[in-house]
């Protein structure tokens, strides 16, 4: 399997996991208990194994990247830029999930997963940009007007 195919496969897995995340958030925690008592099918939930896999992949990609000593500007090639954009969407979702958790009981793994997913997307953007030989732009502080 080529590097591109492996990344594509991982992105499809993320899409599937995001459907699980949506289902998890849409289903109150106590519903799964009442469904099990009635013999209904299992409610899909985000689990620790989802998070562990993300962290493992982050570590694998990070091992081949230059160490970050500064903030970098999002960008690079088309795919890298899209992954940086996806990361900002994940961060926005994380803030909404934190707000939701203040009023409703939710699966604690959901918050951890979405946080790690944004890190995963950031690291993958850097990794893809490296594969495409795109240089990272160092952020040099406040822009002058």
**Which is higher by pLDDT, 1 or 81?**
81
Would you state the structure tokens that stand for residue 6, as one six-digit string?
């492996």
Q: Give 3-state DSSP helix, strand, coil % of the chain, rounded to 5.
A: 70, 5, 30
d(CA 76, CA 50) in angstroms, rounded, equals 28
Our measurement of the distance from residue 68's CA atom to the centroid of its chain's CA atoms, rounded to an integer in Å, reads 19
Is the CB of residue 111 less than 8 Å from the CB of residue 97?
A: yes
Cβ partners under 8 Å of residue 3, min gap 6: 131
Give strand pairing partners of 138: 72
| Distance, CA of 145 to CA of 52 (rounded, Å) | 44
Tokens of 80: 């890298």
80's CB contacts (< 8 A; 6+ apart) are 125, 126, 128, 129, 132, 134
CATH fold label, 3-133: Hypothetical Protein Ta1238; Chain: A; (1.20.1200)
Element (H, E) at 85: helix 78-103
**pLDDT per residue over 4-46, tens digit each?**
999 999 999 999 999 999 999 998 887 755 555 555 567 789 9
The residue to which tokens 């090639």 are assigned: 77
Give 49-81 pLDDT, tens digit per residue.
999 999 999 999 999 999 998 898 899 999 999
pTM, two decimals, is: 0.89
């Amino acid at each position: 399997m080529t590097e591109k195919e492996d990344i594509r496969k991982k992105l499809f897995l993320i899409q599937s996991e995001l459907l699980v995340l949506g289902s998890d958030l849409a289903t109150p925690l106590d519903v799964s208990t009442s469904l099990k008592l009635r013999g209904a099918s299992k409610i899909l939930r985000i689990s620790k194994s989802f998070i562990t896999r993300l962290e493992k992949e982050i570590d694998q990609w990070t091992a081949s990247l230059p160490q970050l000593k500064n903030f970098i500007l999002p960008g690079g090639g088309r795919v890298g830029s899209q992954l940086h954009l996806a990361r900002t969407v994940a961060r926005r979702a994380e803030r909404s999930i934190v707000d939701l958790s203040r009023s409703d009981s939710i699966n604690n793994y959901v918050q951890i997963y979405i946080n790690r997913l944004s890190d995963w997307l950031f690291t993958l953007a850097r990794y893809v940009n490296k594969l495409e030989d795109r240089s990272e732009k160092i952020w040099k502080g406040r822009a002058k007007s």
